[in-house]
Amino acid sequence: MTILAGDIKLLASRVMTDDPEGGGGPTGTAIPDGGSNGIWNDVSELDRANGDVSVRQLHLAVRTNNTDTYLGAQVIVSKPPNDANVCITLAKCAPFARRTEIANSIESYLIQSSEWSGYLLENHVAGQNSIQVFQRPGSVTPAIGRTLVLVYNEDQPTERRQYIRINRVEVQTRTFSYSVGNGYVDYTADVVVCELSDDLRFNFPGSPPDRSFVRLANRTVLRDTTVADAATYYGATTLTAVADLGAASIKVASVYTQLVPSARTETVALDLRPAAVRNMVLAETPRRVEVGAAPHTRRIKIGQENRRRAYTDLLLPLPAPGTVVISYMALGNWYTVVDDGMGAFTGPGAGQIVYTTGSLAITLQEMPDVGSSVIVQWGEKVGYMNRAGGATFRKPEFDLVLEHDEVKPGTLVVTWQSGGVTKTANDNGTGGLTGDATGQILYATGRLRIRPAAMPDPGGEFQMAFEYSETEVETFSGLNPDSSGFVNMTLAKVPTPGTMVVLWLTTRTVSATEGSNSGTNLQKEPGLAYSGGVAMPSEVVTTTANAPASVAPGSTTNVAYGWLKTQMPGGNALRSDV
């Protein structure tokens, strides 16, 4: 006799409730097909407000009076719930699993791993929203967002286990003591205060401080977690595009489902100023420019010893009217009090602020929470400076050395590509650059400094064309300076202006205790003035050099200069500062 579709039944488990002993194996009770509330109860108003997770164990059974072969069956969620806030998910479990085991399997995306390098400090009670971890100084602290596991009476019938997620971490280095003989020895340890995303559901006994940083054997174990992602879930979602028969892929709204209810959402915030509640607009064009009117911040940390409603403070620098903002947290909610610019406060608090002295007195409407802070923000009268349009910067420049020195003035041409357009700069014959760049050229040494008005293209190069002259060296010996220290020399050729370099030997007289006479070979740098006349057309130049040190009588003087076969107008005076 054939097995019919009506012979396949869904059987209820022994306990169809959300108690810890829920589940527990099959019963003979079939769940009515097409009925309502056969598996779950109706969604209550309390569940809609707080959220709820219902776990039920179901069993498949074939009820026939024959021995026909059962070829297998499939269980699917064929349609998602009409209520967008309700999700249905299928997962495999053991035949006699309890609700606690099924819930642990759902939570098995993260599984416990090795023991954390620290332990729970002293006892913690159910409902507590933070834990204290005792560990060695410098040890790694739990990161914000990390999940840890608290386990008490591990692997025993009375085991307590809870996964905790870290929202905030604060490290405090404290000094502890232990008794040795008739005295005490101090040691330091880190006490890490971890704020949790969920309150503790059980009492977890901790261990006392110990200088060896070893917990007691019968106390709570703090373990790290690792990602296992071992569970597989099955659900239903809607298509976002029509799927053809035989298609290898389809498009759906999402591949995720909600396992645990959560009221948390992620909101992206841009262009916010954490230290400024009030803003001041400086400009609207060419774009909007805002600055914070409260750049100064002070925090009063709330503990058991200073939790009250009234607080006083002294604000420095002096606050500007209308810039004081006081924020505090009470029963998990933030409240904000602001000054009205006349010395009083408006909002959930009352008090006064004296702008000329910075004295502040505030009485909060509610008692601030322990572990929170009262945050005072204010701005001063000169809290900003408008520099719009005043920014200046030095144009980029390049220092180059030409392949030859003794560059002929007026012959240098520099070209480069900028935006695909050829740019050109020329020297003006007196050491400057004109055209598409500014700068300087030292003709004698071939050193070039260029500041282009248009920057070269990436990977581009400067192309330089110029003429240079030959260098002539003449040696003069037996020269004697006159009473004014001048020496006259007659050059064989006309030098190019700005190219002459004179080297001579000087004599320095010292005392017997300082040493003996010595001679020094000096090269005159730019700054020494040379004067002379030009004799044409024989091209012989007589030069007079005023040396800063006496020329040794009978010494040899070398004169190096650039020579150009150039006809110069007769009678012109030639001076050079090279």
Model pLDDT, residue 476: 87
Distance CA(245)–CA(476), nearest Å, equals: 107
Domain carrying residue 530: 470-576
Identify whether 239 is part of a domain.
Answer: no
Model pLDDT, residue 571: 33
| List of E strands, 63-159 | 110-115, 119-120, 130-135, 147-152
Higher pLDDT, 236 or 391: 236
Both 310 and 371 in a single domain? yes
Q: Mean pLDDT, to the nearest integer, of 257-280?
A: 69
Model pLDDT, residue 543: 46
Identify whether 273 is part of a domain.
Answer: no
Distance CA(518)–CA(402), nearest Å, equals: 37
Query: Where among 437, 465, 493 does a domain terminate?
Result: 465
Both 486 and 552 in a single domain? yes
- Which residues are bridge partners to 503 per DSSP? 523, 558
Both 77 and 164 in a single domain? no
Query: Where among 465, 497, 516 does a domain terminate?
Result: 465
What are residue 5's phi and psi, to 5 degrees? -60, -30
Model pLDDT, residue 510: 57
Spatial CB neighbours of 333, under 8 Å, sequence gap ≥ 6: none
Both 461 and 483 in a single domain? no
Residue 176's SS3 state is strand
Distance CA(187)–CA(174), nearest Å, equals: 8
Rg (CA), the chain: 46
Identify whether 287 is part of a domain.
Answer: yes
Identify whether 263 is part of a domain.
Answer: no
Identify whether 547 is part of a domain.
Answer: yes
Both 459 and 527 in a single domain? no
Asked if 493 contacts 539 with a C-beta cutoff of 8 angstroms, the reply is yes
**Nearest partner of 76 among 64, 93, 88, judged by Cα:** 88
Both 200 and 126 in a single domain? yes
Q: What is the pLDDT of residues 392-413, one digit of tens each?
A: 677 789 999 998 888 888 899 9
Both 80 and 179 in a single domain? no
3-state SS, 200-228, equals CCCCECCECCCCCCCCCCCCCEEEEEEEC
Model pLDDT, residue 438: 93
Identify whether 369 is part of a domain.
Answer: yes
Strand order in the sheet with 486-491: 486-491, 540-546, 530-535, 574-576
Distance CA(408)–CA(401), nearest Å, equals: 15
Q: Are strands 413-418 and 345-346 parallel, antiparallel or unpaired?
A: unpaired
Both 476 and 457 in a single domain? no
- Cβ neighbours around 472 below 10 Å, total: 17
Asked if 235 contacts 77 with a C-beta cutoff of 8 angstroms, the reply is yes
Q: Are strands 349-354 and 359-364 parallel, antiparallel or unpaired?
A: antiparallel
Both 126 and 223 in a single domain? yes
Query: Where among 465, 493, 521 does a domain terminate?
Result: 465
Assign 184 a pLDDT band (cuts: 50, 70, 90).
very high
Q: Are strands 373-378 and 221-227 parallel, antiparallel or unpaired?
A: unpaired
Both 475 and 461 in a single domain? no
| List of E strands, 74-146 | 110-115, 119-120, 130-135
Model pLDDT, residue 536: 30
Asked if 51 contacts 264 with a C-beta cutoff of 8 angstroms, the reply is no
Model pLDDT, residue 112: 86
Asked if 412 contacts 468 with a C-beta cutoff of 8 angstroms, the reply is no
Residue with tokens 């834990």: 131
pTM for this predicted structure? 0.49
Higher pLDDT, 452 or 506: 452
Identify whether 137 is part of a domain.
Answer: yes
Distance CA(38)–CA(13), nearest Å, equals: 12
Assign 386 a pLDDT band (cuts: 50, 70, 90).
low
Model pLDDT, residue 512: 54
Tokens of residue 494, six digits = 């006309």
Q: What is the pLDDT of residues 24-81, one digit of tens each?
A: 999 999 998 888 888 988 888 888 888 888 999 999 888 888 888 888 778 888 888 8
Both 47 and 91 in a single domain? yes
Both 442 and 479 in a single domain? no
**Nearest partner of 496 among 472, 476, 475, 474, judged by Cα:** 472
Asked if 161 contacts 153 with a C-beta cutoff of 8 angstroms, the reply is no
Higher pLDDT, 482 or 497: 482
**Nearest partner of 466 among 409, 519, 504, judged by Cα:** 409
Identify whether 88 is part of a domain.
Answer: yes
In the chain, how many domains are there?
5
**Helix or strand run (H / E) with residue 521:** strand 518-523
